[in-house]
Structure 1
Amino acid sequence: MSEKTGTFVVTHAESESAVVRDVETAQVHTLASNPGLEVHDVLEATVAPEPPLEVTWEVIDVGDRRSIELVDSDLEPTQHEKDLAADAEVGDLQQEERAGTGEIHVFCVPEDEVEAAATDVLEDEETVARAARLEAVRVEVRRAPDAGVLSVRYLPD
């Protein structure tokens, strides 16, 4: 095995070890030590297998490090987000790039499932990986239960 350079999300962190996931390939690497990483940290880094067994990895270079903040907002989706949802069927996802960087995802869900859907998004490891790919540092989840609308905003700051 050889070293790998990419974008990694920390999915598990303890004082003595950590687990990182490549956001492009979804490959998981267990680190033999934890160089101060916390869950939801994103690393632009190079990792390499540790000899002799090469079953654990080590971080050998970090180009950038940031943390993804997950926010369960008490705000409702914007009027624009509600308008996007109005053109969609239940179960549909509308995606739109934000001006600058980031994206907005708007989901149409049954009114009685909006809260559960918001919880699912906030707990889903893929939400953080998507934020890392989009170079976001904040993910804001807004909901309008009476309208069956859930918005997920991937924000640069």
Structure 2
Amino acid sequence: MTEKTGTFVVTHAESESAVVRDVETAQVHTLASNPGLEIHDVLEATVAPDPPLEVTWQVVEVGGRRRVDLVDSDLEPTQHAKELAADAAVGDLVTEPRAGTGEIHVLSLPESEVESAARDVLEDEETVCRAARLEAVRVEVRRSADAGILSIRYLPD
């Protein structure tokens, strides 16, 4: 095994160890120690096998560290998100880059499924991994059950 450099999301953290996931390959690495990491931290780092057995990994260099905050907003989707949803069939996902950094995802859903879909997005590890790939530090989930719209905003700050 060799060193790997990339972007990693912390998916599990205890005082003595942590688990990180490479956001590009989805490969999971169990760290032999926890250098102060918390769940949802994003590391631009290099990891290497931990000697002598090389069954766990260690962080050998950190180029950057940030945290992804998941926000369950009580705000309605923006007018733009509503316009994107208006052109989508129920069940369709519309994605659009934000001006600058980030992305907006809009789902058109049956009214009865909006709340559970919002919970799923907020609890899904892939939401944080996507935010890391998009260089976002905040994921804001907005919804309108009456209109059947779920908006996920991947924001740089």
TM-score (structure 2 length as normaliser): 0.99
- State the AA in 1 paired with 2:13: A
Task: Specify the SS of the correspondent of 2:83.
Answer: helix
Shift in Å, 1:76? 0.6
Aligned to 2:82: 82
| Cα distance between partner residues in 2 of 1:91 and 1:16 | 42
2: CA distance, partners of 1:79 / 1:50 = 51
Aligned to 1:144: 144
Corresponding residue for 2:51?
51
Quick check: 1:65 aligned with 2:65? yes
Q: Provide the C-alpha distance between the structure 2 equivalents of 1:125 and 1:79, rounded to a whole number of angstroms.
A: 28
- Which residue in the other structure is 1:135 paired with? 135
Aligned-residue RMSD, C-alpha: 0.4
Aligned equivalent of 1:108 = 108
Q: Deviations over 1:89-139 (max 9, x none)?
A: 111000001011000000011100100000000000000000000000000
Aligned to 2:29: 29
Q: Does 1:97 align with 2:97?
A: yes
1:6 aligns with 2:6: yes
* Shift in Å, 1:53: 1.4
Which letter maps to 1:43? L
Partner amino acid for 1:150? L
Partner in structure 2 of residue 117 of structure 1: 117
Count of residues in correspondence between the two structures:
157
Provide the C-alpha distance between the structure 2 equivalents of 1:111 and 1:18, rounded to a whole number of angstroms: 39
Hey, what's the Cα distance between the residues in 1 that align with 2:17 and 2:109? Answer: 39
> Aligned partners of 2:125 and 2:3: how far apart in 1?
24
Aligned-partner SS, 1:100: coil
Q: After superposition, what is the alpha-carbon deviation per residue over 1:52-75, rounded to whole angstroms, capped at 9, x for unaligned?
A: 211100000000000000000000
Amino acid at match of 2:107: F
**Could you tell me the TM-score, scaled by structure 1's length?**
0.99
Deviation string, structure 1 residues 17-44 (Cα, Å, up to 9, x no partner): 0000000000000000000000000000
CA distance in 1, matches of 2:71, 2:131: 13
Gaps of 5+ in 2: none
